[in-house]
């Protein structure tokens, strides 16, 4: 999909977090925003060492989604892992 590349380029040029948020609200539905927010929440919890079953209960999501997130974080080349390491100030130990 060439559109995702273009969206990535547009986002990379934006420097104002509020503008990025407005843009995302303009192009995504409320369900899509909820889904992305939920995915980010589960990735942060996994990164912080919260057990998968606790995440499933807390966020009301399936273990399949959590397992996917866990695989992403276990990949040392993962951009998500690098971003969370920078955000949290420590390395993933899962």
- What is the per-residue DSSP string for 63-93? HHHHHHHHHHHH-TT-HHHHHHHHHHSS---
Q: For position 1, what pLDDT does the model report?
A: 73
Read off the pTM: 0.89
Give the pLDDT of residue 41.
Answer: 98
Boundaries of every domain in the chain: 2-88
Mean pLDDT by 10 residues, the chain (94 residues): 93 97 98 97 97 96 94 96 95 84
Q: What is the pLDDT at residue 46?
A: 97
Reported CATH class of domain 2-88: mainly alpha
Query: Distance of CA 67 to CAs 11, 60, 87, Å?
Result: 28, 14, 22
């Amino acid at each position: 999909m060439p559109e995702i590349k273009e969206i990535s380029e547009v986002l990379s040029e934006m420097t104002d977090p509020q503008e990025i948020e407005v843009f995302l609200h303009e192009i995504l539905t409320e369900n899509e925003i909820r889904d992305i927010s939920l995915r980010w929440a589960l990735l942060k919890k996994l990164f912080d060492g919260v057990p998968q079953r606790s995440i499933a209960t807390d966020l009301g999501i399936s273990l399949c989604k959590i397992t996917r997130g866990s695989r992403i974080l276990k990949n040392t080349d993962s951009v998500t892992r690098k971003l969370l390491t920078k955000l949290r100030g420590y390395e993933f130990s899962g």
